[in-house]
Amino acid sequence: MTKQVKQLDRVIIRFAGDSGDGMQLTGDRFTQQSATFGNDLSTLPNFPAEIRAPAGTLPGVSSFQVHFADHDILTPGDSPDVLVAMNPAALKANLQDLKKGATIIVDSHDFSGRNLSKAGYDHDPLETDELDEFAVHSVDLTSMTVEAVKEFGLSRKDAGRAKNMFALGLLSWMYGRPVDPTIAFLERRFAKVPDIRDANVTAFKAGWNFGETTEAFVVQYEVKPAPMPTGRYRNITGNLALAYGLVASSVQSGLPLFLGSYPITPASDVLHELSRHKRFGVTTFQAEDEIAGIGAALGAAFAGSLGVTTTSGPGVALKSETIGLGVMLELPLVVVDIQRGGPSTGLPTKTEQADLLQAMFGRNGEAPVPIVAPRSPADCFDAALEAARIAVTYRTPVMLLSDGYLANGSEPWQIPDVEQLPRIAPGFATEPNHTGEDGESAFWPYLRDEETLARPWAVPGTKGLEHRIGGLEKNDGTGNISYDPANHDFMVRTRAAKVERVAETIPPTEVDDPVGPDGQGARVLVLGWGSTYGPIGAAVRHVRNTGLKVAQAHLRHLNPFPKDLGEVLKRYDAVLVPEMNLGQLSMLLRAKFLVDVVGYNRVRGLPLRAAELAEAITDLVEAQTGDEPLTTRNQETEEVR
């Protein structure tokens, strides 16, 4: 039959099923297909902390949301246009996020007695009118999959497990995705188990063919490739980009990379990835605990490596004492915190930005460390390079604050030209730096560079520079133990001044503030940091589309701030600071600049919703200016719907 082809500018699809249903893989494949096709995209995996929560229950639901478009987009989207629900629990858990008119493709196979009650249904929702406001396609995906793959002689259970590929095939047909990459992927992945390989490929093709032939689906959709700057692209998650950024830091500094780490969600993938790149001289040490992970990294830094430790919030808490030691020793060290929901064990697989103050102050004594945060999955690459640059240049631990959303979310990444990457100069000390009154030359480990205030980095094996460092207070210059009150005061201030010096090498705050028809800029600034960049950008676009003026700026450096930040804040009548915490950046801004910023705070374990944020921005702009939106607020512009 001939199917109608409808053009769309963008689509949000959410694949949802049991945590054993392979939804992450399905979403990832759909994403890769869309990337290869040339759409811009953004993804949001969302899964339970349990590896296999009880099958068919609400806590066991795992989902993967992918937003793809024919133009530049910033977020995985608030509300899916299409929900693929593989069982009753997946339907129930995700229904609340759908707007009227959304499409639901549901595997009807498990909509019976016990499976319904496990999901908390006392009836079959497919048999009532409760889904009437949605376009529901109820299809027995499981049975069709089993039927399609019966020639391979698999058990019914194994045959049924290919249903995710059937669903992927169906969606691939609906949105005209290229299929070859996925077939090639399945052939690689299951190369050693031919019957499983063949069953998955067959189920995938069967899903495609079902879409093409059935009368249940009459429309095929087309989302054209997005215009992007010329270049070579790949799709990349934040953790992968971060790991690559660390490898690049090693290559660009000529320092061997030493990672000391202990497995923790959502940071373990960085350890996994780096352990595969030993050919770059990368050593990965899976330590006995978080403390040993950072301890070994610090030991390696003393020995002249680029020392790195990767963890999440609970791990940072354990590493605090060693970070303090690093502050005292003044050795380069990159501490990567992939933030997750807290406190305590919190929400291991969900995202949050509530470790900012821990990064800032979570140590005894005056122990400042520079803090760098990436804004998007691909940006994790550049942020890692920047963290390494600061650590090596200033001989200091640096906190790199990513989060669970950036870690697992993905977007297209324009592959950088390696020749253009910044160089990092270790500048090891090679000779004595001081001549005593007796005319003898000596090495003073705490004699500082005048420009950076960094101390010399003399590694063991360098003749004549033997010295001792430690956690006790140092005498300025000699580095010998000192309990002198004036010296302590001086050293505390000097360590703080050194971190402040980092600001000399930070670019000024980039403010996006288009001049309006009245020749004036905005009176309200939205200022964010980290992974809220996407939702803030989407919300700001929406507000501007309604005719209101609003400025946006996003911080990569949280400590020290860019030198012009105070002046920037004071240019605006109001500053809105959206964060996935209860106002941690707000607190820092108020303390430092005496500016009464307005917080917008959500700690739901999920990225901010652009639509809600847009309303908050609109309210603030209206309150400050008396202006009102020219278009109605509910109009669906851009990503806000």
Partner 1 sequence: MSQVDLPNPGLRGVPVTEEPLTRKDFASDQEVRWCPGCGDYAILAAFQGFLPSLNIARENVVMISGIGCAARFPYYLDTYGMHSIHGRAPAIATGLATSRSDLSVWVITGDGDSLSIGGNHLIHALRRNVNLKILLFNNRIYGLTKGQYSPTSEPGKVTKSSPMGSLDNPFNPVSLALGAEGTFVARTIDSDRKHLTSVLSAAAAHRGTALVEIYQNCPIFNDGAFDAFKTPDTRDEAVIPLVHGEPVRFGNDGDGHPTKGVVRDRATGRLEVVDLTEASEGDLVVHDAHDEDPATAFALSRLTDAGVLHRAPIGIFRSVSHPTYDDLAREQVETARQGTEDPTEALAGLLSAGDTWTVA
Residues at the contact surface with partner 1, assessed by CB under 8 A:
32, 35-36, 38, 181, 228-235, 244, 247-248, 251, 256, 258, 260, 277-283, 285, 287-289, 291-292, 295-305, 307, 321-322, 324-325, 329, 415-416, 418-419, 460-472, 480-481
Task: Give the shortest CB-476-to-partner 1 separation in angstroms.
Answer: 17
567 CB contacts (<8 Å, ≥6 apart)?
none
Cα–Cα distance for residue pair 243/312, rounded to 1 Å: 15
| Structure-token pair, residue 401 | 């604050």
417 neighbors 232 (Cβ within 8 angstroms): no
Q: Virtual CA dihedral for 489, 495, 500, 505, nearest 10 degrees?
A: 150
Cα–Cα distance for residue pair 218/174, rounded to 1 Å: 9
Q: What DSSP line would sit under 53-71, residue for residue?
A: PPTTSGGGEEEEEEEEESS
Task: Give the shortest CB-15-to-partner 1 separation in angstroms.
Answer: 19
| Structure-token pair, residue 116 | 């319904």
Cα–Cα distance for residue pair 346/52, rounded to 1 Å: 19
| Structure-token pair, residue 616 | 């908050």
Peptide bond before residue 348 is cis, with ω within 30 degrees of 0: no
592 neighbors 558 (Cβ within 8 angstroms): no
Task: Give the shortest CB-460-to-partner 1 separation in angstroms.
Answer: 4
Task: Give the shortest CB-381-to-partner 1 separation in angstroms.
Answer: 8
Task: Give the shortest CB-528-to-partner 1 separation in angstroms.
Answer: 28
Cβ-based nearer residue to partner 1, 389 or 544:
389
Cβ-based nearer residue to partner 1, 173 or 233:
233
Cβ-based nearer residue to partner 1, 431 or 451:
431
Task: Give the shortest CB-295-to-partner 1 separation in angstroms.
Answer: 3
Cβ-based nearer residue to partner 1, 276 or 570:
276
Cβ-based nearer residue to partner 1, 17 or 245:
245
Cβ-based nearer residue to partner 1, 472 or 582:
472
Q: Are strands 10-18 and 61-69 parallel, antiparallel or unpaired?
A: antiparallel
Angle, helix 180-189 to helix 163-174, in steps of 10 degrees:
160
Task: Give the shortest CB-559-to-partner 1 separation in angstroms.
Answer: 23
Cβ-based nearer residue to partner 1, 255 or 588:
255
Select from 265, 344, 269, 347 the least CA-distant residue to 312: 265
Cβ-based nearer residue to partner 1, 208 or 258:
258
552 neighbors 525 (Cβ within 8 angstroms): yes
> For residue 503, how many other CB atoms are within 10 A of its CB?
16
> For residue 432, how many other CB atoms are within 10 A of its CB?
15
Task: Give the shortest CB-363-to-partner 1 separation in angstroms.
Answer: 12
| Structure-token pair, residue 39 | 């759409």
DSSP 475: P
Cβ-based nearer residue to partner 1, 165 or 616:
165
Cβ-based nearer residue to partner 1, 117 or 430:
430
404 neighbors 221 (Cβ within 8 angstroms): no
Beta strands, E only, 327-409: 333-339, 371-372, 397-403
Cβ-based nearer residue to partner 1, 72 or 596:
72
Task: Give the shortest CB-300-to-partner 1 separation in angstroms.
Answer: 4
546 neighbors 631 (Cβ within 8 angstroms): yes
| Structure-token pair, residue 167 | 């669903």
DSSP 266: T
Task: Give the shortest CB-200-to-partner 1 separation in angstroms.
Answer: 18
Cβ-based nearer residue to partner 1, 100 or 232:
232
Task: Give the shortest CB-480-to-partner 1 separation in angstroms.
Answer: 7
| Structure-token pair, residue 367 | 């122990």
Half-sphere exposure of 213 (CA within 13 A, CB side): 7
Task: Give the shortest CB-258-to-partner 1 separation in angstroms.
Answer: 5
Cα–Cα distance for residue pair 626/620, rounded to 1 Å: 10
Which residue in this structure is represented by tokens 């009807």? 108
| Structure-token pair, residue 148 | 């399609």
Task: Give the shortest CB-249-to-partner 1 separation in angstroms.
Answer: 10
Cβ-based nearer residue to partner 1, 250 or 532:
250
Identity of residue 45: P
